[in-house]
Amino acid sequence: MEMQDIVFSHNVCDDLDKKLASAGYDKLFILTDENTSRLCYGRLSGCRTAAEACRIVIPASDVHKNIESLTQVWDELSRNGATRKSLLINLGGGMVTDLGGFAASTFKRGIRFINIPTTLLAMVDASVGGKTGINFAGLKNEIGVFSNALTVVIDTAFLTSLDSGNMKSGYAEMVKHGLISTVSHWAQLMDFDISRPDMTRLQELVRMSIEVKQQVVIQDPTEKALRKALNFGHTLGHAFESLALEKHRPALHGYAVAWGMIGELYMSHVRKHFPSTTMRQTIHFIKDHYGTFPLDCKEYDRIYELMTHDKKNADGKIYCTLLNDIGDVALNEVLDKEHVFEMLDFIREC
């Protein structure tokens, strides 16, 4: 797989207009949700190409990353004359890039799309790597396809309108990238004050995170082996996220991943001898910035059941990514019910 085209931009209009000038499309569409329409679309108002685009606006938040919103996008593409030569720009967070990428990849068997992520989570995770999809039947990202954006334009100026919770949500994925890469990368992340971010330094950390993901994805684009390293914290984290949705108290994705990393760091220590000092330092950082998941022992069985639906599972077994050490990943580790309950006990006790 070739390296994905990613533009680190300081002028989103100039860079977008340059990319579109050579794209050869017939009709242009811009997808936002209600929040990014209000907060972010204005930054494209000066773009020459944006003036010709048809706008599609869907409801905001992950609870709307569903078949209803997907159908709305398909319907508006169809009603406004989109063809196989048309192009869709996804301007928004991970919900928009995931859903928009899936809508584009399936409309008329696939039209091209460009991602312009506006949240930290979308910049370092959702918009890069070719995963698209929607939630279905209460499960995260249950329906989707692998499909790369034509281009991803990264402009950290969008983050000036991002609230603290969503900033921290994206940063959790960056912490994961540090844990699966190098001690130096991890240490820089532990030393960064995400509550009062230095935006110049953050831009460099974003670049480092994207490079980690790119290097993994280029070797394993469809998650047959190495790409599973990017799932660290997600096996348990997705279950937390799904349970929170069931309880009508949605949790931000990065928060759920952070809580999942606590359990999976613990299991990495127990089973793979991950260093206890590194584990404690990372967990301390997570607890300081993300708190803890409100967990009752009566919910253990439901969390285990949700984990059995994870897409990485096979042969009726739960497969998890663990760590031997920073940058030393153990893939396809089997978790039984006793392991899951042990992780949940640790999370409650620590």
Are both 201 and 224 inside the same structural domain? yes
pLDDT of residue 50: 82
Mean pLDDT, rounded, for 188-197:
95
Scan for tokens 């034509």, then name that residue.
Answer: 150
Residue 316 binned pLDDT confidence (cut-offs 50, 70, 90): confident
- pLDDT bin (cut points 50, 70, 90) of residue 27 is very high
Specify the pTM.
0.91
Q: Do 177 and 256 belong together in one domain?
A: yes
User: Which tens digits make up the pLDDT trace of 157-191?
Assistant: 999 889 999 999 999 999 999 999 999 999 999 99
d(CA 107, CA 114): 15
Does one domain contain both 115 and 229? Answer: no
- Asked if residue 245 and residue 170 are part of one domain, the reply reads yes
Task: Based on the fold, state whether residues 341 and 318 are members of the same structural domain.
Answer: yes
User: What CATH number is associated with residue 337?
Assistant: 1.20.1090.10
CA pair distance 146, 133, nearest whole angstrom: 9
Checking if the pLDDT of 289 tops 60, the result is: yes
Residue 136 pairs in a beta bridge with 139
Domain limits for position 183: 165-349
Question: Is it the case that residue 54 has pLDDT exceeding 80?
Answer: yes
Average confidence score pLDDT of the chain: 94
Q: Is residue 1 part of a domain?
A: no
Residues 146 and 231 in one domain: no
pLDDT digits (tens, 9 = 90+) for 90-134: 999 999 999 999 999 999 999 999 999 999 999 999 899 999 999
Q: How far apart are CA 23 and CA 112, in angstroms?
A: 9
83-87, 125-129, 324-328 — which is least confidently predicted? 125-129
Of the residues 133, 162, 191, which one is the last residue of a structural domain?
Answer: 162
Q: How many domains does the chain have?
A: 2
Q: What is d(CA 128, CA 321) in angstroms, rounded to the nearest whole number?
A: 20
Look at residue 2 in the predicted model and tell me its pLDDT: 67
Residues 153 and 187 in one domain: no
- 87-92 and 28-33 as β-strands: parallel, antiparallel, unpaired? parallel
**Is 62 domain-assigned?**
yes
Residues 93, 57 within the same domain: yes
Looking at the structure, tell me whether residues 86 and 53 fall in a common domain.
yes
Based on the domain organization, do 138 and 169 belong to the same domain?
no
Highest mean pLDDT (candidates 82-96, 131-145, 234-248): 82-96
- Looking at residue 1, its pLDDT comes to 56
188 and 152 in a single domain? The answer is no
Average pLDDT over every residue of 60-79: 96
Residue with tokens 């936002």: 32
| 200-231 pLDDT per residue, tens | 899 999 999 999 999 999 998 888 889 999 99
- Tell me what pLDDT residue 138 has: 81
Of 116, 141, 162, which residue constitutes the final position of a domain? 162
In this structure, what CATH number is given to the domain that contains residue 56?
3.40.50.1970
Residue carrying the six token digits 């897409």: 311
Which of residues 130, 162, 194 is at a domain's end?
162
Q: Which residues contact 80 (CB under 8 A, 6 or more apart)?
A: 27, 29, 54
How far apart are alpha carbons 103 and 89 in whole angstroms? 11
For range 9-17, the mean pLDDT: 93
Whether residue 311 sits in one domain with residue 170: yes
